[in-house]
Amino acid sequence: MKPSPRCRSGFTLIELLVVIAIIAVLIGLLVPAVQKVREAAARIKCANNLHQMSLGMTHYHDVNKGYPPAFAKPSNYGWAVFVLPYVEQDNLFQQLNVTTTTLSVNPLTTLALEVYTCPSDPDSQTVNKYFSGYAKSNYAVSEQVSDGGSHIKALSIKDGLSNTIMIGERDAFNQVAALWPGRDTATPGAGVASVIGRPSWLINTKYGGGLPCCTGDTPAGCTRFAWSSAHSGNGANFAFCDGSVHFLQATLAVDPKQKSCSKPVAADFTLYKLYFAADGLPIGAAEW
């Protein structure tokens, strides 16, 4: 009678190591793919926020015959507050009572609002550590569209709505982000950057100051005005005055002579031409 062959009861050590190695390779391939999907979804959300804001700005303009101010005088409530009724936040707008109050840190002005939050910002804090603890926003307006106490009309944008930046992104990891409630006045001369962005610095320029804003940054040339994001691709999303949203590369040229705290003046550099509403300088699609 022949002896029965032994049944194998499990994997050999070599087979187990091979299986582990295969699993490790699969995980190594899967994790970056998942991260890319998450970032793509976050980037789309951030762009959708910009589109919603641009529509809100346009609706405000239609009702009030001009764009909202970057910050009202003397209340200091910001452009994003005046847009609240047009981004499904009318209840909050009514509670703020902007006609009879002035901006202050309170439970309403520390609320995190989804429409003003870009999920790609690595800084997950809902209040802005740079600006007195007001609620953080990841979006800063162009003062060519909304300036302090302004009431700018779309008809004044002579270079074309599709060629003029309205709002751009700014994160709180590489930069100081922004505020949706309005202009912070805790540090004289620094708070304008809490609502406004400028093309004085390249997109994604890192903030050169400290805490609170803007310790040490004024001597550095007010880097706090730069637009920025943490998106892959080295650039940031911008809403234009026609409601379109575009991803602009950080390589778009700026005027090296205007890296300062002063308001920029028109110059023949790509980011400047997209910023200024009526500089008369032609800009081709190939430039951006």
- The pLDDT value given to residue 42: 79
Structural domain contains residue 258: yes
SS3 assignment, position 61: helix
For residue 7, with 0-12 CB atoms within 10 Å meaning exposed, 13-18 middle and 19 or more buried, which class applies? Answer: exposed
Contact 139, 80 (CB under 8 A): yes
The tokens describing 110, both together, are 């520390």
Distance CA 192, CA 185 (A): 8
Omega of the bond leading into 212 within 30 degrees of 0 (cis) = yes
Q: Which two tokens stand for residue 207?
A: 């903030």
In a domain, 209, yes or no: yes
Can you give the pTM of this predicted structure? 0.87
113 domain residue, yes or no: yes
- Total domains in the chain come to 1
Strand partners, 197: 142
Amino acid letter for position 31: V
Q: Is 274 domain-assigned? A: yes
Query: In a structure prediction context, what are the per-residue pLDDT tens digits for the chain, which is 288 residues long?
Result: 555 555 555 668 787 788 888 888 877 777 665 566 567 777 899 999 999 999 999 999 999 999 999 999 999 999 999 999 999 999 999 999 999 999 999 999 999 999 999 999 999 999 999 999 999 999 999 999 999 999 999 999 999 999 999 999 999 999 999 999 999 998 777 899 999 999 999 999 999 999 889 888 988 899 999 999 999 999 999 999 999 999 999 999 999 999 999 999 999 999 999 999 999 999 988 889
Looking at residue 3, its pLDDT comes to 53
Domain membership of residue 1 (yes or no) is no
The parent domain of residue 79 ranges over 13-281
196 assigned to some structural domain = yes
